[in-house]
Amino acid sequence: MQPEAVSCRMSGAAGEAGAAGAITLEDLDSMAEEQSPSHGCSQEEEEAAAAAEQQRLLRYWQSVGRGHQVDVPRDMAEPIQQLTRNNQHQERESIPFTLVHRKEKFGEVLYEKRQYGKAKWACIKMQEEQYEQSICLGFMKLMKYICEQNSSGLYLGMTIPIVTLVHTNESHSEITRSVTVAYYLPELLQEQPPQPYDSDIIIEEWPPTVVYTRSFRGVTNEDSIMREINFLAELLESPELCLQNIFIVAGYTNPAAANRHNEIWFLQRP
């Protein structure tokens, strides 16, 4: 898994009217469940209800997006609705790996060493002013690709985690503005990935990679990411065996949750 990635997410500050500061698959689950059943409605009524649902979802995303200083354009309405509906019926596929070693102390998992196989990823590079802006805008582009804007014309299905490749400066004191948001192609699409319509999205094949990973809880921002990088570096017996300025942030669950599951990954040198 070489460099050059809410769960899919938009994470950050709170939106309008006290809305949670995140847009996640879990949020969309609950929103879709609020919809009234359309049994017994005419086709015109069903179409009107679908249009109203689409606009409601879009307005919600736009409201939360403003809290991130991110504009959610109107052309996101259909992908948002597709992701919401499909997320009700399909399980999210986890990226496969082999556990090589687990370091524990007093019953606490300090870190894991994992082997990830060769795989294809849909990747997009972003360079916004803030990390959260980059991951939000990058994910929206990937979401269009997942939601039928690809050469197959099909909904591709969600995989977890969505990963973000981050770089640190030479002094290892902060992450740089350039990040890569990446979506693992489902196993059934690995051999022949559908091509994205968006030329900014590149399908890359990452070689087999060993990673050292540690879970952490809470939000992901510039400060928390650097804190977790430094913490894991202190725990590893031989951190020099890993790449020193490229790391991965993996997100699994709702960023608005109090006990959110994230991971920081160190990449072992080839």
In the structure, what pLDDT confidence band is assigned to residue 247 with cuts at 50, 70 and 90?
Answer: very high
- For residue 148, the model assigns a pLDDT of 85
> pTM for this one?
0.75
In 29-161, DSSP assigns E strands to 93-94, 98-105, 108-116, 119-126, 159-160
DSSP state of 9: E
pLDDT at 36: 44
Our CA angle for 137, 140, 144, nearest 5°, is 145
pLDDT at position 255: 44
pLDDT at position 184 is 97
Residue 75 has pLDDT above 60, yes or no: yes
Asked whether residue 177 carries a pLDDT value surpassing 80, the answer given is yes
User: Going from the N-terminus, what domains does the chain have, and what CATH number goes with each?
Assistant: 14-86 (no CATH), 93-268 (3.20.80.10)
Mean pLDDT across 229-240 = 94
Lowest mean pLDDT among 30-34, 110-114, 129-133, 151-155: 30-34
CA separation, residue 99 to residues 2, 74, 102, 111, 212 (Å): 19, 43, 8, 11, 10
Quick one: pLDDT band at residue 39, thresholds 50, 70, 90? low
Buried b (16+ CB within 10 A) or exposed e, 98-108: eeeeeeeeeee
**200 pLDDT higher than 70:** yes
Reported confidence tier of residue 87, pLDDT bands at 50, 70, 90: low
Exposed/middle/buried for 170, CB within 10 Å: 0-12, 13-18, 19+? exposed
Query: What per-residue confidence (pLDDT) applies to 180?
Result: 96
Give residue 33's pLDDT: 45
pLDDT tens profile 124-167? 999 888 787 788 788 889 988 998 889 999 989 889 998 999 99
How crowded is residue 265: how many other Cβ atoms within 10 Å of its Cβ? 24
- When pLDDT is cut at 50, 70 and 90, the band that residue 84 belongs to is low
Mean pLDDT of the chain: 79
CB atoms within 10 A of CB 208: 12
Q: Do residues 255 and 219 make contact, with C-beta atoms less than 8 angstroms apart?
A: yes
Structure confidence at residue 104 (pLDDT): 95
Helix 43-67 vs helix 77-86: angle between axes, to the nearest 10 degrees? 100
The stretch 175-197 carries a mean pLDDT of 95
